[in-house]
């Protein structure tokens, strides 16, 4: 019995796990390889969802008395074995897909070359999650983002900046300020909607001249020390409490 599964999924979960493990056995996967399939929550979940149906079907055939003792799984068709092996190969592939640095996979020529707000070029995710991490391609006018000229930009927002954008509902100064305030480790005080940075001290990365190379660190195109100092003294912001930090 797997206590982790029992705690999280109860008796149904254990049945599914048994069925999943049976499928691994059918596919001829034993020993360390089979253990790998139980190493992470994600892999375990996969075994319980993807493999369970294969294993359950085979187990039922045994219950129905189609084979005698000593010939465990002998009745399983080659097609079912092969299906289980393919599933296992996909699972291993997923597990080997370790997080690395990825930019937006759908970027097009002319797009801003980093996150439109903070200018970072990449986020650390699994390759399979890169598109989700960067969200959809968007466009925005330059004027409200710290650039006093007409025109627009297109590109992507990193996950942190998108959180701010989603809270405000539009790509504009409030979302830009919110993203920067959060990056610098502050929260907006109750009673204020946003932070007003003076003059031209805050610009979106995407408002910089086109072809500006991406920042090596988020917001590196701004004077972060000076902005942090401003926020320390600002009536709009405060440092989050320990509890808020832990989220
Ligand atoms: Zn960003």
Report whether 150 contacts 120 (CB < 8 A).
no
Span from the CA of 44 to the centroid of ligand 1 (angstroms): 33
pLDDT value of residue 166: 94
Compute, in angstroms, the gap from residue 40 CA to the centroid of ligand 1.
30
pLDDT at 144: 67
Q: How far, in Å, from the CA of 176 to the mean position of ligand 1? A: 9
Give 34 Cα–ligand 1 centroid separation in angstroms.
40
Q: Cβ distance 123 to 159 under 8 Å?
A: yes
Distance 88 CA to ligand 1 centre (A): 36
Record the pTM: 0.64
Q: Which DSSP helix (H) or strand (E) runs through 41?
A: helix 41-46
For the chain, the residue count is 247
Distance CA 178, CA 21 (A): 48
Ligand 1: centre distance to CA 70 (Å) = 60
Q: Are 40 and 95 in contact (CB under 8 A)?
A: yes
- Spatial distance between the Cα atoms of 171 and 175, rounded to a whole number of angstroms: 6
DSSP letters spanning 99-166: -EEE--TT--TTS-SS-TTT-B--EEE-GGGHHHHH-S-EEEESGGGT--S--EEEE---HHHHHHHH
Compute, in angstroms, the gap from residue 121 CA to the centroid of ligand 1: 9
Per-10-residue mean pLDDT of the chain, 247 residues long, equals 72 81 81 76 78 73 51 74 80 79 90 95 91 94 70 93 92 90 90 74 88 93 93 87 81
Structure confidence at residue 113 (pLDDT): 92
- Is the Cβ–Cβ distance between 230 and 197 less than 8 Å? yes
């Amino acid at each position: 019995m797997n206590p982790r599964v029992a705690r999280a999924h109860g008796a149904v979960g254990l049945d599914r796990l048994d069925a999943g493990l049976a499928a691994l056995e059918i596919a001829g996967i034993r020993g360390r390889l089979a253990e790998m399939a139980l190493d992470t929550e994600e892999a375990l979940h996969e075994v319980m969802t993807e493999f369970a149906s294969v294993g359950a079907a085979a187990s039922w055939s045994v219950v129905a008395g189609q084979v005698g003792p000593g010939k465990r799984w002998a009745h399983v068709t080659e097609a079912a074995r092969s299906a289980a092996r393919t599933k296992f190969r996909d699972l291993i592939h997923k597990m080997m897909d370790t997080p690395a640095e990825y930019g937006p996979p759908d970027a097009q020529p002319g797009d801003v070359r980093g996150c439109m707000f903070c200018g970072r070029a990449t986020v650390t995710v699994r390759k399979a999650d890169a598109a989700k991490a960067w969200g959809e391609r968007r466009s925005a006018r330059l004027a409200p983002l710290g650039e006093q000229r007409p025109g627009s930009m297109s590109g992507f927002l990193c996950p942190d900046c998108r959180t701010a954008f989603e809270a405000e509902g539009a790509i504009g100064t409030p979302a830009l300020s919110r993203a920067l305030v959060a990056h610098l480790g502050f929260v907006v005080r109750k009673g204020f909607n946003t932070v007003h940075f003076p003059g031209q001290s805050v610009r979106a990365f995407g408002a910089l001249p086109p072809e500006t190379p991406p920042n090596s660190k988020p917001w590196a195109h701004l004077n972060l020390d000076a902005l942090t100092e401003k926020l320390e003294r600002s009536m709009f912001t405060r440092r989050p409490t320990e509890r808020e930090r832990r989220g």
